[in-house]
Amino acid sequence: MAIFMITLPLLGAVLVSIVGYLKPHWLPWGALVPLLASGVLGCMLIGRIPSDGYISYHLGNWSVPLGIELRVDYLALFLMLLICALGLLALIFSRRYIVKEVSAGRMTAYYVLILLLSGGLMGFVASGDIFNLFVFMEIVALSSYGLVAISANSRAVRAALRYLLMGAPASIIILLGIALLYMATGSLNMAELAGRIGQSGYREILIASFVLFVVGFGVKAALFPLHLWLPDAHSIAPSPVSALLSGLVVEVSIFGILRIAYSVFTPHVGNLTSATSNALAVLAAAGVIFGGVMALLQKDLKLMLAYSTISHVGYIFLGLTAFNAEGLTGAMYHMLDHGLAKACMFLCAGSFIYIKGFRRIEDLKGAWRQMPWTCFAFGLAAFSLVGIPPTAGFISKWYLILGNVKAGNWVYVVVLLLGSLLGAFYCFRILYYMFFQPGKEGAWTPRPADVPPSMLIPIWILAVATVFFGLFSGLVIPSLLKAAGLLI
């Protein structure tokens, strides 16, 4: 059944392209159907996967050495549900919003690409075979290059080409890493690799392979010195696309490193991976500070959110490199929280652009008079991103800091706290402008005239979800701890 979660959006993409050609009015609703079906299947799978087990599906019933295996364990299902949810909410938001940025001739392409992106992300997360991981990563990458360029104005095409010129070499570097792994072990299946890497005598090849994976996935995940494509790409893409890119694509690439570092190069072979992990942690810490400082300096709202993504990617990496169950749980929960909160903030930015065309932070002064719903949702998401107690961000940062304290990395604890402080500065600056500053003359109407409900409902579902997952984190955290403990 897990296979249908992945193939339904992919097949749906093909069907939606036909629907878009014949009956363009049906496009937004038609695009929702495959993702809804995947979401329902995902919910049905929740009870079936114990937190210390997994579901394994062999494609075509070919057994493991020859065939491709899909392995959905608790972490993978967690992310697949997040992908379905964010994809659905972005699609609902797009119905009204996308007319503003994408010309009518490209609507079909937009919906097809979003479905391909969702299907590709789910396949990436569920993959149990390392080359299958590469194929789905390419599906995700190509759809995101297309989605960044979809509005076809020159800035968008330049940003997409820059993204491509950094992302495609990164994919090739990952392919080379897979080649080195195959050379050293003779297998491509992740479970078999975990066994064979410990026994293989080819030390240097395996170290080189891990470094290549970190560099390749690091470009895709916007690790600090390799982040140069992200600010332009995420700020110029249409807002629902930015929500999906920042909230999912970047995080799924980090999940790729998680899979490589924990399920393939298990912590038993720490002598192979420890030097690279230390370097990764240093770069991640630098990224946290860099992203925070650059976000403070930005005047454009979406550019600020993009630099904030770089900072939060650093947090998740610092959770991964702590190498204990709490750090890994913090990293996974931060993926959830950052996905929800950042998607909410990008959709709110989209609302401001939809109603008024405002992109600069200064133009948001006094916004709450006209758009109170959007502003309050943005405020909730900002609280979650900073890490204020009842929200999910607090829980995730708690576990991140706990993981690093247990590992004894006091420098990274200080970096995490500093990053939260910077986050407070740049998020609360916007809240101050929105709520406590008077607007320019005639910029905002005194009576509320907010975005239509089909755009407000996704924003508020996301904002409420960040608080929900903070208050009721007991639903997820114990299972995450158990699943993470298995990997260590």
Residue among 157, 388, 405, 486 that touches other proteins (CB under 8 A) = 157
Choose the stretch contacting other proteins; rule: CB under 8 A; options: 154-162, 345-353, 366-374, 391-399.
154-162
Q: Does 171 bind other proteins (CB under 8 A)?
A: yes
Residue among 95, 158, 429, 482 that touches other proteins (CB under 8 A) = 158
- Residue type (1 letter), 204: E
In the complex, least distance from residue 141 CB atom to other proteins, rounded to whole angstroms: 8
Residue among 57, 131, 358, 460 that touches other proteins (CB under 8 A) = 131
Q: Does 335 bind other proteins (CB under 8 A)?
A: no
Choose the stretch contacting other proteins; rule: CB under 8 A; options: 168-176, 260-268, 333-341, 372-380.
168-176
15: tokens are 């069907």
Partner residues linked to 71 by β-bridges:
56
In the complex, least distance from residue 152 CB atom to other proteins, rounded to whole angstroms: 6
| Beta carbon nearer to other proteins, 113 or 465 | 113
Residue among 160, 283, 322, 371 that touches other proteins (CB under 8 A) = 160
- Do residues 392 and 384 touch, judged by C-beta distance below 8 A? yes
| Beta carbon nearer to other proteins, 155 or 440 | 155
Choose the stretch contacting other proteins; rule: CB under 8 A; options: 30-38, 121-129, 160-168, 249-257.
160-168
In the complex, least distance from residue 179 CB atom to other proteins, rounded to whole angstroms: 5
Rounded to whole angstroms, how far apart are CA atoms 9 and 301? 31
Q: Does 57 bind other proteins (CB under 8 A)?
A: no
In the complex, least distance from residue 66 CB atom to other proteins, rounded to whole angstroms: 9
389: tokens are 């107690």
- Do residues 302 and 364 touch, judged by C-beta distance below 8 A? no
Helical axes 325-356 vs 372-386, angle rounded to 10°: 160
Evaluated on CA atoms 233, 234, 239, 244, the torsion sign reads positive
CA distances from residue 72 to 2, 45, 68, 400 in whole angstroms, order as listed:
7, 10, 13, 24
In the complex, least distance from residue 226 CB atom to other proteins, rounded to whole angstroms: 13
In the complex, least distance from residue 20 CB atom to other proteins, rounded to whole angstroms: 19
Choose the stretch contacting other proteins; rule: CB under 8 A; options: 32-40, 152-160, 236-244, 265-273.
152-160
Q: Does 155 bind other proteins (CB under 8 A)?
A: yes
Which uninterrupted H or E stretch holds 72?
A: strand 69-73
Choose the stretch contacting other proteins; rule: CB under 8 A; options: 130-138, 307-315, 439-447, 461-469.
130-138
Which uninterrupted H or E stretch holds 307?
A: helix 301-320
Residue among 3, 36, 45, 175 that touches other proteins (CB under 8 A) = 175
Instruction: Please spell the DSSP secondary structure of 27-65, one letter per residue.
Output: HHHHHHHHHHHHHHHHHHHHTTS-TT-EEEEEGGG--TT
Q: CB neighbours of 176 closer than 8 A, spacing ≥ 6?
A: 212
Q: What are phi and psi of 213, to 5 degrees?
A: -60, -45
Residue among 172, 228, 411, 414 that touches other proteins (CB under 8 A) = 172
Q: What are phi and psi of 201, to 5 degrees?
A: -90, -5
Which burial class, exposed, middle or buried, applies to 17 when counting CB atoms under 10 A from its CB (0-12, 13-18, 19+)? middle
Residue among 183, 417, 449, 471 that touches other proteins (CB under 8 A) = 183
Which uninterrupted H or E stretch holds 71?
A: strand 69-73
Which burial class, exposed, middle or buried, applies to 141 when counting CB atoms under 10 A from its CB (0-12, 13-18, 19+)? buried
Q: Does 348 bind other proteins (CB under 8 A)?
A: no
Rounded to whole angstroms, how far apart are CA atoms 149 and 22? 24
Chain positions 428 to 447 lying near other proteins, rule: CB under 8 A, are: none
- Do residues 117 and 144 touch, judged by C-beta distance below 8 A? yes
Q: Does 231 bind other proteins (CB under 8 A)?
A: no
Q: Does 161 bind other proteins (CB under 8 A)?
A: yes
| Beta carbon nearer to other proteins, 141 or 349 | 141
Choose the stretch contacting other proteins; rule: CB under 8 A; options: 167-175, 340-348, 371-379, 423-431.
167-175
Q: Does 45 bind other proteins (CB under 8 A)?
A: no
Residue among 36, 135, 424, 464 that touches other proteins (CB under 8 A) = 135
Buried b / exposed e along 315-334 (16+ C-beta atoms within 10 A): bbbbbbbbbbbbbbbbbbbb
Chain positions 186 to 225 lying near other proteins, rule: CB under 8 A, are: 188
Q: Does 169 bind other proteins (CB under 8 A)?
A: yes
Q: Which chain residues interact with other proteins by CB under 8 A?
A: 131, 135, 138, 141-142, 145-146, 149, 152, 154-155, 157-158, 160-161, 164-165, 168-169, 171-172, 175-176, 178-179, 182-183, 188
